[in-house]
Structure formats: structure tokens, C-alpha cells
A and B are shown apart, each in its own frame.
Chain A
Amino acid sequence: MAECHPVGFQWVMEAKARGATVIHVDPRFTRTSALADIHVPLRAGTDIAFLGGIINYVLQHEKDFREYVVAYTNAATILTEDYQDTEDLDGVFSGLDPEERTYDFHTWQYEGMEVQAASGQRDQEYADQPGGRKRSTKSVRQAGRGEAHGSGGAAISGQPQVDPTLQHPRCVYQVLKRHYARYTPEIVEQICGVPQDTFRRVCEHLTDNSGRDRTSAFVYSVGWTQHTVGVQYIRSAAVLQQLLGNMGRPGGGIVALRGHASIQGSTDIPTLFNLLPGYIPMPHAHAHLDLDSFIQGESPRKGYWAEMRAYMVSLLKAWWGPAATPENDFCFDYLPRLTGSHSTYETVMAQLAGDCKGYFLMGENPAVGSANAKMQRLGMANLEWLVVRDFSLIESATWWKDGPEIETGELRTEDIGTEIFFLPAAAHTEKDGSFTNTQRLLQWHHQAVEPSGDARSDLWFVYHLGRKIREKLAGSVDRADRPILDLTWDYPTRPMPSHPGDAEPDAEAVLAEINGWDAEGGPLSSYEQLNDDGSTACGCWIYCGVYSDGVNQASRRKPSTEQDYTALEWGWAWPANRRVLYNRASADPDGRPWSRRKALIWWDGEKALWTGHDIADFTAAKSPWYRPPTDATGAEALSGVDPFVMQADGKSWLFVPAGLIDGPLPAHYEPQESPVPNLLYSQQRNPVRQIVSMVHPNDRFQPSGGQPGAEVFPYTMSTYRIAEHHTAGGMSRYQPYLSELAPEMFCEVSPELAAERGLEHAGWATIVTARNAIEARVLVTERMTPLTIDGRVLHHVGLPYHWGHGGLAPGDAVNDLTHLSLDPNSHIQEVKVGQCDIRPGRRPRGPARVELVKEYQRRAGITEKTGTEI
């Protein structure tokens, strides 16, 4: 965190100054480790084993916060007899279809309930039609259903059977206990390389610091997500935090640190293919799907998601205004439809296949920053046109003349037909707008200076692009053009003083549209005001209220010294300015704070209201003793002891009956490429990991575990960031002051590995995988620790991924080494762990570079089948 989020790390330092213990779990010793109380190096790619070990410790020693667990989680819920765990099936869950590499999650259900997976229901209905089944099942699941509903909420109806004593052999608590029983300190040591003493210390710290009086927080970043089991990493932390009672309480939670200033904002109002604003799923291309069947398929009957129709209709009204009417399903048919996964990596494959002909890159540098960067460049070389909007001429705009493939001869400039448009972009200081941080806090930034030269804001670009397209289409009678022509596209603009004749759209007007308005055009103040009859418009239901009273609530900057510690008047947090989600859980079932130290909100019996330091994430007047009538729906169907109001059963989910693609409980699988066999199960890898490119010659996988040829790539590697640079370098390697801080691509290796491979400190090394070979300067440091894994010493190669062939500080791109095996839920690449070889000296130049990689492939016996086993 000190490396990649130094500004946020000030709060860790402040917590530390007030007595917090900081534990840093990371394969390498970083700036964070330097300031932590304990640094725990572990083998990259083994965090589920590590966290599973802690879960087992909690369960074996009964250190869970039992009252919290029974009241607020689904620990007591009983599963069906059909469910079979990894314990029963040696590492896989029931429902696996090995041929299609998918799970049918019907057996993961609650007993006696009609459990519908948000990601499966429509699919199941469709599958019931003759001949529909397998293909649609896969295409829907690949369409990223797991990400919809934000936290993975899914449709459930009926009443679950529960055993509050937690003794029933099929209750979630007992299933959990059996599932994690094999995650012992001994196995943690063998898999992760963490000595048992260190492991126990971490367990003790965490459990001692959790409960009625105390809470612990987890902070993670892409070191956890960029794996073939990335979502299950986070789920492991979620299981732990639920058992310890650390969710919905002050000082608790799981904090995702994002890679850029507003990545949270770009999932809330998504740049993702599978989501609409506010985590409403993107419709799938089922035949004759209309608004009603979409809502029926995606929306549960209980909890706040039961109001999805109101959110959806209001969104359609925000986009298509008067054109959206009840008669035409509010233009629901104007929305594009999914036919499978359309993630960035499928897009690359479509480029290579010639299906994707045009590409916009806005603030993204895939020629450096995306997995298997060579495939990215080759894909772009097969486009008709490419638009790059960035601060500088980044590698993604220049690969056609100076990219690595030009040097090796794999591409020739004169053969590349891609027409490339570079449009300089304005920086955040040069435009108005908002950042949404990891706390869901929207903070407005005001323009400080006009952008120079041709640089313009993204808002300017998108608005004027839309305006010009609409001008060109004006008068068209083609039905396909209606979605564009009917759009509300009337944002006010202001003249740009330094650029006469040019007009910048008003960012606050966009915020007002996102917030939404009623039939009279008055600003809304809460998503509870949204209607499903077309009388309200709202561009993103979870942001509703950010412009309440016509005031930009995100621009509030009341100093912390003038308000209490929740600082409700600094910026605005979605939803409804709540600072801690699900904060009903900060009080006991009777509505009293669990302890005075940890009071956040509580039930005020006299006023019959929830009150406290934060805004209650609960119906304000719903008493702790409220029990819903059996026919209740929506928020009314949740009782006064159901804090997790977005979940259809109001409980947090230790066990996820629906919504995840790859299992209801996290299980340790080895990465796509690993030096060792899976010591926990005979199943080596995540069986349903998504392999985008099974047969592409530029994306070969390596042998793994004990397979012959694995020894050709004996070292584990991780890609990461350092404080000196920003992601793929577009914002830092073109800046002299940042470039001089870390001027060259380097790798970090331990003195032991340097000795073993003859690597010279500050000299050069070549790092090779089955995809490519790169060179880097060598930094020999004791901060890299060789670990003892299952009785043998394993070395780690650390690879910061900031460099590319352009900029003031050029260097080889680490992502040339990485592959396209992805997490099946989020479609994120596994770049935080891989296997490689490292050798002294610079890499070969020209065609010899390609030949070196081929030689490695031959030595390891790599074919198109290697590593694609289920």
C-alpha cells in the first residue's frame, strides 16, 4: 500500500500511531513491509491456502464472533443433500461439467428453498427449451454474470431452513468446518512457505483483535485479484471477516485499493462489458427477451434489488428521455445484448480474427499494461482504425513504428493497415469531474487551468463525437440508428476561453443526470424515490442523492476539524452518503452497539429510529423486532435483524449458493503455472478458469507442478508496481521528474538466486517464459526471500511492470511474458504469479529473440495442449 497508494497509507500510519498492529502479507519486502509490525512473505499464488488456514484456526478454536455469525450470516442455513464439497469430490464442487468447463450451480442451494442464481435463472428457463441448454449455459456464464449486483447478490425466494445451534451436519457452519479442516498450519507452511510460528502469530493477532470490542480490516489490491482464482481470494477474506464479525462495523471491512484514482467510479458507472450503471446486469441476447422477462430473471423478490425495475426504467428514461415509454418497454430493446464474454481479451482475439475492426483506447496502454502485450500489439496491427486518447504518445500509439515486433521482424510497418488517430487528453487538473475512491466516496475536482494545445477532456471528446455522429445520422429512417438518434444528448456547454469557438460540456449537468430527477424535473434525493412507471429518470441509481437539492454534494469540503470522525460532510458516499455499508451489523440484534468502543449506529427506542455517527444502511424506522409478513416483498420482506439489505435473505454469505462461477466456497488451486502440485487436492488448477486463447501460437502455456518440462521454468515471478511509476507508465515514464526516480526496467532477485544463476548486481538479466523473453537490470536485494516450499527452496523473481519501449525511461514490458488465463468471474488476467527462467546478460536482438523463446518451448515440450487441462 505504501508502494502503490502512498497517499492513502497516511491513514495506516495514523492508525499505527494510535496502536493498530499492521501485518503485511506479500512475497516481497516492500515499503509497506518496512513500516509494518510483521511482514509475512509467502509464495505468490497461495493466499487462499493462507487465508483458509486462518479460517480453519478460527473454526477449530471457536474464535468466531458467535452471536454475530448466528444472527447476521448464513452460517445456520441448511444446504440441500445434493451439495457435494471439494471434500467429497477431491477438489471440485458438485455440478462440474468438465467438457464445457462450467459449473451447474443448482446443487449449491439452500434446503427447502427455491434458490435462483442471478446468473442462471434466465439461462435455466432458456435451457429448458429443446436444444438450448449447453451452449447458452456457457455463453451466459461467460458473460460475467458473477459481477452483476455488485456484491454478488442473487435472486432467492422462500424461507431458508436454519439451525441456530449450528449443529446440523448440512448447515453452512458445519460444511465450512469440514471444508477447511485440511487447511492446517502444517499444510500452510508446506504450500505458502510461511513458518508455523509466524502463521500462528498472525492468527492470534487477528482473532485477538476481533470481536465485540475490536475490529480488524483487510486491505488488498490487484495482488489478490489478478489470479485465475482472484474472486475467491476476496471471498476467503469475506468468509474470515464474517466469522470474526468485522463487516458493517467501524474499523472493519475489506478495503479494495484500486489501480487508478477512479476505478471504483468506472465500475459503478461501468466501463465493463457486462454491467449497466449501478451493477444492473447487461441483458443477454436471448430470443424475445423483453423488459419484464429481464427483470423477472435478474431481480430477486426480497431486499433492495427487488426494486430493480424502478432502477432500470429510470436509467432508460435518463438515456432516452421522452422516447422511452411504457408502450415500447422504455426502449429496453435499444440496449446492446451480450452473446458471451466480451472482455478486453476476447476483444483482442476478435481483432486477430478480423472481427473487431475499430478500437478506442482512452487512458489505457494495453501495448504495455495488458497480459500478453504482444498479442495486444498484434491485435491492434489487424485493425482498420485505432483511436488513442492519452497525455503522451504512448506505446499503444507508436507500436507500428517502434514496437518490439518491428525489431524482431514479426511486423513490418509498411504491411500494417491500421489507421491510428492520436488525440491528446486533458489531465484532471484541466477539467471538472469527480473521483470515486475505494470508500465509494465521490470527491469533486474543479478545473484549475485550461488544457493546453489540442488536449481536451474525455467528456468533451465523447460529447462532441456523439454530437457529430448524430448530425451525420440525422434524418435516417434505419431502425438501427434510433438508439443513437433518440438519446438525450443536450448537455449545456461553456466556451473555452483559451480555445475560441470550442465548447466544453458542463460536467455538473452530467452529474445532475446521474443523480436523476422527478416528473417535474426536480432533483431526486434518494433511490427510494425511483419509480418503475417512467415518472423518474436516474443515470445511476446508487448515485441518486449526489445532487440532492440541486447541490453538488460531492464538492463538499468541510474540514475534519469541524465535524465528527465519520466526516459526513466531506464529499458524498454512495449509497445515500453512508460511510460504512451494512452498518446495521454494528449493533446487536436488539439494536444496541456491540460495545461502546465500536458504536456506530443504534436503535433509538424513544424516537423509534436508527441513529448514530453514520447514516443507517437500513430502513430508518424499521425496529429490530420487526418481522415481515410471509407475503412481503422488497425491503419490507427483510426483518429487523437482516443487516445485509442487498442480499435477498438479508444475511451475509459465508457460503454463496448462487452468483459465483467457480464454487460456493474458496478452495486452494495452484496458479495456471506453478512449480508444485496442489498439495490439498488432486485438482491442480481452478477447473473453470477462463482460457481465452487455447490455441494461439503466441499464447502458449507452460507445464506445471510435477509435469515434465516444468523444470525449464523453475522460478516463480510476480508483476507489481513501485511507488515511482504509474501502471503502464503513460502518466509517469513521460515525466522527467518521475523517470529519474526509476529510470530503467529492473528485476528484483535474492542474493541466493543471483548466486545460483550468476546474476550480477546492476548488470543485466534475461527473463524467459513460453510467451517471450525480456531483459532487465538486476537489483540483488535481501528484500526478496527464498521460501521453502514442500521441502525445496523456491526463488522469486520480482518484476515491476511499468516499462515499455517508449518514453524517457524505456525498457522491456513485463506483460510480454504473461498469458491469457483468466479468472472466470471477473475475466481478469493472472499476472501476479507465473513461472519463468532467468539468465545473466541481455536478451538477443532481432529474430534471435523469437528463436530463444522457441528453443525454450521445445526444451519444455510445449504444445498447444500444454496447460489447458481442466
Chain B
Amino acid sequence: MAPVDIVIGRKPDLTGAMLGDTDPAHQGGYVDHPPRMGFFTDTSVCIGCKACEVACKEWNAIPEDGLVFTGMSMDNTQGLGADTWRHVAFVEQRKPLAVQDPGVLHDGVDVLALAAQGSGTPPDRAGMTPTTPGDPGDLRWLMASDVCKHCTHAACLDVCPTGSLFRTEFGTVVVQEDICNGCGYCIPACPYGVIDQRKDDGRAWKCTLCYDRLTVGQEPACAKNCPTNSIQFGPLDELRERADARLARLQEAGVSDARLYGRDPHDGVGGDGAFFLLLDEPEVYGLPPDPVVTTRDLPAMWRRVGAAALVLVGTAVAAFAAGRRV
């Protein structure tokens, strides 16, 4: 990716309807901005190596946060938090693996031509034999790397009183550590439980989608280190196309459990900037099934509060007026 021109200092476009605008950078006031960037995490090829966790900590200089043996399969870092911005979940299930059809023939496939495309050919363009269900073992081990979703409608951003949380020109959501005052409003606001307060300094921390790397044309550290391309980084539109194709292929092959999570721009958060291909219900991975931006009802609530206040005032006034008459 080439370095992008950063347009800053634009006046936020406060007229954009909060829930209607699905271009968050535009909503954030950027007029001439780069495409929205994000992650597509395809958990069907995750091998659980945790390179993303380590690369993230290394690049962002996040402190070690506890040497705890949890007994939760191979997961000892437990979940996203102030000091874990990528987290790999491990789920052991009594459920058959989806396996490839052993009888697939390659007649008519010119593998040399395929091979000559070079090893850089993305699997989705590599004349792939689909993964199909076969007679399998009865155990499967799901692995999935979780991260901040960089919501289209980000409640953390809405509630931040200092402007520490801001929308970048890439459409991502970033905390500015030198502005955060540690009020903690953002923490209950996050529908995914991602953003978290660091205990010793009180400030809020989360994935920045490596904003510093993006501004110099580099991909985020986790995606850079993922050996199997489970974590894919790129313009969100492209990622969504890629994900749709991957999902279609898996479903066609009979992996009926496969689904996209956070892909839908019409979901409760307006779609995620970081979305996932899962092989089971979101709850299995510890993800909320139907997240809703927690500030969605704020305008309506304020309207009702206003109306209620008016009624109260009206009643009081009426009471006083009535009293005088007495």
C-alpha cells in the first residue's frame, strides 16, 4: 500500500445523521479521505499460533499483563483488554471437522500453470478445491483472533467527553493516550467489551489498527505477522467482497455453519471495520450475537427526557397557577 495523503483539520460534518451515514470518515468530517480500511479475520484458516498477539504487543509496546495458567485450552491471555489488543480464542468441541473430499480429481486442472502464478497467488484465486464435509473425526478445535471491531457507529467515540477517542481518516477508531483523562465512560459503552482501562494509569486502551503504521503505508503488525493470512488487512469494500466469495465457497462445499460476523452494514453498529468469518455461533467464540451501538437510543432517550421535563415543568407551572387561585 502506498502512503496516503492525510487530510486533517477539516471541520467535522455535524450534519451527518449518526445512524444513517455508513462512511465513518466522512461522518467524522474528512472530505477527501482514503478508503475505509479494516480487517477480515478468516478463522477457518487460523492455526492459533498467537503471532498476532505477540506482534501487536511488540509493535505497540503493550506491557505484559499476567502470567496466569487458565486451563482454558491453550488460551492464557483470556480476552481483549487494556493490555491485550489481539486475542486468540481456543474452542474445543465435540463436533465433526469439515474436511475435504478425498475423491477430488484434478483432471483438467493445470497445476503447473497454477503453480507458475507464484506462491503469492491468494488462495481465493488459486483454482481452489473447495473444502467439503467428509467423514471426519468427531473433535474440532476452533481458533479465532479477536480484535476491536472499529464500528461504523462507535459508542466509545460518542461518549468520550475529551475527544481522546477520534475517528481517523481511515475510518478507524483510535484513543489518544495523551488526551484520555481516564473517565472510563467508553468502557461500558462498547457493545463488545473491547476497550478497557489500564489499572496502573487509569486510561483507556485498545487496538489502533496500527494507526502509526497505516499513515506510512504499512499494514498493521498482526496482519503482517499472520502466517496463514487468517488476518487480512485492506480497504473494507475489498475485504467484504473477498469474504463474501470465501463464505459462498464454504457454504457451497457444505460448511453450513460458516457465517460472516460484523459484515452487515445494517446491523446494530452499522457494520464493523474489523469483521470475521466464523464456523459457529458468535457466542461460541465469546462474541455478542447481536451487538447494538449503546448510544443508539440516546437521542430518543433525550427526546423523552425532554418531553418528560416539559410535562413536569408544565405540571408544576399548572400547580402554581392553580395554587394562586386558591
Real binding pair: yes
Interface residues of A (CB under 8 A from B): 2, 6-7, 9-11, 13-14, 16-19, 21, 29, 31-35, 37-39, 201, 204-205, 208, 213-214, 559-561, 563-565, 567, 596-597, 599, 722-724, 736-744, 746, 761-762, 777-783, 808-809
- Per-residue CB proximity of B132-149 to A under 8 Å, as 1/0? 001011011111000000
Is B127 a contact partner of A561 (Cβ separation < 8 A)? no
Is A34 a contact partner of B74 (Cβ separation < 8 A)? no
Chain B: minimal CB distance from A671 (Å): 26
Is B141 a contact partner of A38 (Cβ separation < 8 A)? no
Is B126 a contact partner of A737 (Cβ separation < 8 A)? no
Is A19 a contact partner of B54 (Cβ separation < 8 A)? no
Partner of B112, one of A18, A567, A596: A596
Q: Cβ of A736: which chain B residues have Cβ within 8 Å of it?
A: 63-64
**Given contacts A9-B227, A11-B119, A782-B92, is CB(A740)–CB(B126) below 8 Å?**
no
Partner of B47, one of A6, A559, A742: A6
**Given contacts A13-B228, A737-B64, is CB(A33)–CB(B141) below 8 Å?**
yes
Distance between Cα atoms of A564 and B102 in the complex (Å): 29
Q: Cβ of B92: which chain A residues have Cβ within 8 Å of it?
A: 781-783
**Given contacts A17-B128, A723-B48, is CB(A741)–CB(B227) below 8 Å?**
no
Distance between Cα atoms of A821 and B67 in the complex (Å): 36
Please, which residue of chain B has its CB at the minimum distance from the CB of A810? B67
Is A560 a contact partner of B118 (Cβ separation < 8 A)? yes
B13 at the interface (CB under 8 A from A): no
Is B111 a contact partner of A18 (Cβ separation < 8 A)? yes
Q: Chain B: how many interface residues by the 8 Å CB criterion?
A: 58
Partner of A19, one of B106, B110, B112: B106
Distance between Cα atoms of A205 and B100 in the complex (Å): 12
Q: Cβ of A13: which chain B residues have Cβ within 8 Å of it?
A: 45, 47, 123, 228-229
Distance between Cα atoms of A867 and B36 in the complex (Å): 67
Partner of A740, one of B76, B104, B137: B76
Is A19 a contact partner of B128 (Cβ separation < 8 A)? yes
Partner of B74, one of A17, A18, A722: A722
Q: Cβ of A778: which chain B residues have Cβ within 8 Å of it?
A: 71
Is A777 a contact partner of B128 (Cβ separation < 8 A)? no
Interface of B is mostly: loop
Is B74 a contact partner of A724 (Cβ separation < 8 A)? yes
Is B45 a contact partner of A21 (Cβ separation < 8 A)? no
Partner of A10, one of B73, B141, B228: B228
Distance between Cα atoms of A62 and B268 in the complex (Å): 62
Distance between Cα atoms of A737 and B63 in the complex (Å): 8
Please, which residue of chain A has its CB at the minimum distance from the CB of B64? A736
Chosen A-B contacts, 17 in total, with CB atoms closer than 8 Å, are A2-B48, A7-B227, A13-B228, A18-B123, A18-B129, A34-B47, A34-B141, A37-B100, A37-B102, A39-B139, A561-B120, A565-B117, A737-B54, A741-B54, A742-B74, A761-B71, A762-B71
Please, which residue of chain A has its CB at the minimum distance from the CB of B57? A737
Is B102 a contact partner of A21 (Cβ separation < 8 A)? yes
**Given contacts A564-B116, A777-B71, is CB(A741)–CB(B48) below 8 Å?**
no
Q: Cβ of B58: which chain A residues have Cβ within 8 Å of it?
A: 737
Chain A: minimal CB distance from B33 (Å): 30
**Given contacts A18-B111, A37-B102, A783-B141, is CB(A742)–CB(B228) below 8 Å?**
no
Is B120 a contact partner of A565 (Cβ separation < 8 A)? no
- Per-residue CB proximity of B281-322 to A under 8 Å, as 1/0? 000000000000000000000000000000000000000000
Is B139 a contact partner of A783 (Cβ separation < 8 A)? yes
Is A6 a contact partner of B76 (Cβ separation < 8 A)? no
Is A782 a contact partner of B112 (Cβ separation < 8 A)? no
Partner of A34, one of B48, B54, B112: B48
Q: Cβ of A213: which chain B residues have Cβ within 8 Å of it?
A: 106
Is B228 a contact partner of A31 (Cβ separation < 8 A)? no
Chain B: minimal CB distance from A613 (Å): 8
Distance between Cα atoms of A711 and B57 in the complex (Å): 48
B66 at the interface (CB under 8 A from A): yes
Please, which residue of chain A has its CB at the minimum distance from the CB of B132? A37
Chain A: minimal CB distance from B116 (Å): 5
B70 at the interface (CB under 8 A from A): yes
B65 at the interface (CB under 8 A from A): yes
Distance between Cα atoms of A21 and B227 in the complex (Å): 19
Q: Cβ of A560: which chain B residues have Cβ within 8 Å of it?
A: 118-120
B183 at the interface (CB under 8 A from A): no
Partner of A777, one of B69, B123, B139, B142: B69
